[in-house]
Amino acid sequence: MAIQQTMMSVLGIGEVRRVSVLRPGPEAPEAASQEIAVDARGAAMSALLSEFLPSTGFFVHLCVLDDGGQLLADATKVEHGAGDLSRLQSAMRTLARSYPRLGLSRVYIQDAVGTAALVALPREHLLLLVAGKSVALGSISISAAKLAARLAQELEPSRPPAGEQSGNS
């Protein structure tokens, strides 16, 4: 336990907790359980995703994955459900890691269910955005760029997370 606390301190993680979220979907309700590292940046990113999700009207899921594939923050519309989101997250992360050329910036995949977009963030983090069917790719692209810019500010090591900025001027 002491080793875990030391590692958490070195990594700047305040606490780690198991979060179970019940998300009803078109099929039977299913519980999604993920370990989420909760620190100031993760909390700020979660708040940002939760605020952004309803503002567009067309995204059904947003999440940030770290360079190891761990879920740092997410927001999902309740009516969408968890469904295949963990498989989609895994597939998109694998695509980003195995892409053979340098500097992968964005990926858009359209299928029968909708569009999944992957955007590279600083520090090898990834933003995954999932939109429903019949959403214009331009709308997804503009919204993804806006959200990625805001998340990049939270991930910059030189900037304190929102709410932790010092009062010294």
> How much of the chain, in percent, has pLDDT values that exceed 70?
67
pLDDT for res 157? 63
pLDDT in tens, 111-146: 998 999 999 999 899 999 999 998 999 999 999 999
Does the residue 20 lie in any domain? yes
Does the residue 163 lie in any domain? no
Does the residue 166 lie in any domain? no
Number of domains in the chain: 1
Q: What is the rounded distance in angstroms from the CA atom of residue 34 to the CA atom of residue 97?
A: 21
Does the residue 78 lie in any domain? yes
For residue 99, what is the domain's CATH number?
Answer: 3.30.450.30
Does the residue 17 lie in any domain? yes
Of the candidates 162, 119, 124, 125, the residue with the CA atom closest to the CA atom of residue 142? 119
pLDDT for res 115? 95
pLDDT for res 29? 35
Q: What is the rounded distance in angstroms from the CA atom of residue 156 to the CA atom of residue 83?
A: 32
Residue 107 has pLDDT above 80, yes or no: yes
pLDDT for res 49? 96
Task: Give the range of the structural domain holding residue 52, as residue numbers without chain letter.
Answer: 2-155
Does the residue 149 lie in any domain? yes
Does the residue 165 lie in any domain? no
Does the residue 169 lie in any domain? no
Of the candidates 158, 96, 86, 91, the residue with the CA atom closest to the CA atom of residue 121? 96
